[in-house]
Amino acid sequence: MDIKLAVLIDGDNIPSAYVKEMMEEIAKYGNPTIKRIYGDWTKPHLSKWKNVLLENAITPIQQYGYTTGKNATDSAMIIDAMDILYSEKVDGFCLVSSDSDFTKLATRLREAGMQVYGIGEKKTPNPFIVACDKFIYIEILKNQAQKSASESEDLEDSNKDSLDKITAKEIRFISSTISDLADDDGWAFLGDVGSLLQKKQPNFDSRNYGFQKLTPLIKSINNFEIERREDSRGRFKLIYVKIKEQKPKPKSKTKKRQ
């Protein structure tokens, strides 16, 4: 059964171009029963949003900027979130923003037992990212939209340029997580590994590195072994992962002095 989600969008700092892909992504995690976007709709920079709101059944919430330098949109969104929380109509929230001002809100919602998903650009400050259960970069959704629109080589190259590279830091992070879950023989169930990676680092996503799933990402790294096993009924293949044992380097022979 899908959990009911309240989707709250900060219209001031999220681009409208990929709202369709964004809503499709949110649908993977639950049923978005409440969908609202906040901003001062008298301002011209929000005009692009107006064309997509009806198509995606998102309710615009008007919020005037009463004072220069103060973000009234953030306050309205936070107040609404708390009202929705106390109404007990949803099981979780999706906060769409790249603004660290929503860090405390995400923390408070999780304290209340809510599942909290965040969506924002890669410039999003880390405190807001780690305050969510899962954080999705909107750049991933851009890449997916571009790939579906065209398969040209130039476009593929531009997508690769925007992807993160797997570095020694990521390999150490995956290795330590496998070690946390491994049995006596060193094997860990990949589903559990993926869940723990997400808990440790909410913005960890295979798509950041150009892989749709965790399995091909793990396969691309020579440090790990993968094994497929049948479940007890023989119906499904279960994937397990293990850190490869490093072969000791041969000792260099030194010539004895005469």
Looking up residue 184, the CATH number of its domain turns out to be: 3.30.420.610
Give the structural domain span for 64. Answer: 4-160
Residues 31 and 125 in one domain: yes
Residues 40 and 23 in one domain: yes
Of 97, 130, 160, which residue constitutes the final position of a domain?
160
In a domain, 252, yes or no: no
- pLDDT given for residue 4 in this prediction: 96
CA dist 24 and 26 (Å) reads 5
Which tokens sit at 169? 């830091």
| Alpha helix ranges (H) inside 118-189 | 126-130, 138-149, 153-161, 168-181
Residue 81 pLDDT > 50 = yes
CA dist 73 and 62 (Å) reads 9
- pLDDT given for residue 151 in this prediction: 46
pTM: 0.82
- pLDDT given for residue 187 in this prediction: 94
In a domain, 193, yes or no: yes
Of 160, 194, 211, which residue constitutes the final position of a domain?
160
Residues 107 and 124 in one domain: yes
Q: Which residue has the tokens 């603004």?
A: 99
From edge to edge, which strands make up the β-sheet containing 224-230? 187-189, 237-243, 224-230
CB 71 within 8 A of CB 90: no
* Mean pLDDT along residues 35-51: 85
**Residues 179-211: tens digit of each pLDDT:** 999 999 999 999 999 999 999 999 999 999 999
